[in-house]
Each structure stands twice: as structure tokens, then as C-alpha cells.
Amino acid sequence: MAYQVDFKEVSTIGLESSPVAEKLAGLRANEARYFWNKYKHVFVTKSVSDEPDTLKWIETILLERDLTFPYKALEVSSFEVEGIKMAYVFYENGLSINVMYTLEDGGKRAVGFKLSDTMEIPVEFEGKFKFARQKSKLAGEIRGSYFVIKGSY
């Protein structure tokens, strides 16, 4: 089922099984607000079972850094805006991963990681990434990191 993410009234729809559902919903709403303000794009998520290819694509790219996650993926989102393919996965533990993949050769391509407010840094990241902090009215304190994609997908 598709969910149009509301960034004015934060909702845990689709994220109810997460022990940090409120924080994760704030993080998801923060992303929705960003895409609306920058591109006038409505951010829509779907359950992983409705769009398994998105999760598979993200997981394939993560293998560049030998990253695999044992966490349950709750929702994904995939869309194209201004020549950039964007894909998101929201995990039950509060982790969000996004892929920004410019379709034109030579464009920016990166994987971003965001941790919901109060979430501990997962062991998979220890010693591999440094996390910057960002304040958000919707999500509290977000910690994020990224890596540049080297391959073609």
C-alpha cells in the first residue's frame, strides 16, 4: 500500500512495528519536506513487499562497501526527479538509507545513511563512517553519513 508522507502532521503509518516509530516517522517526514521544498515532489513510500526491486537495488549498491544489514526493512520509496534516481529504505530499528543516482554519466552518485534521533550507531558502521549531526523540527537530532558510489547500477 502506498503512503503519501505528510510532513505537517507526522504519522507512524507503515512504521508501527518499529520500537522508534515516532522518531523514524519524523525522519521520514523530514525527507518528504525536503523533496517538496526543493522539487515540489510528493514523497510516497510503499511496503517492501509492494516494491522489492527497490530494496534489492539499494542492497546491491551497498555491497560496494561490503555492507549488509540484518534489520527488517519496513518501507521503500523510489522516484526520479530532475534526472536523478532516488531510492529510500526505512528500517525497523530507525535507520534510513537513501541512494542518489544521477542518470547522466559523470553526475553525482552517493549513498546516504541517516539515524533516527537517539538511535545508537549500528555496529556495521563502526570504524567505517563518521556521522555529522543535524537538527530537525520534525525529526529531532539526525545523524548522517554517506559514501560516493563508484560502480554503475
Evaluate whether residue 88 is within a structural domain: yes
Could you tell me which of 92, 96, 79 has the C-alpha nearest to residue 134?
96
How far from 143 is each of 9, 41, 131, 151, CA to CA, in Å?
A: 22, 24, 6, 26
Evaluate whether residue 142 is within a structural domain: yes
Q: What range defines the domain where residue 98 resides? A: 3-148
pLDDT tens digit string along 29-85? Answer: 999 999 999 999 999 999 999 999 999 999 999 999 999 999 999 999 999 999 999
Evaluate whether residue 33 is within a structural domain: yes
Evaluate whether residue 79 is within a structural domain: yes
Evaluate whether residue 153 is within a structural domain: no
Report how far residue 34's alpha carbon sits from residue 87's, in angstroms, rounded to the nearest whole number: 14
Domain count of the fold of the chain: 1
Burial class (CB in 10 A: 0-12, 13-18, 19+), 126: exposed
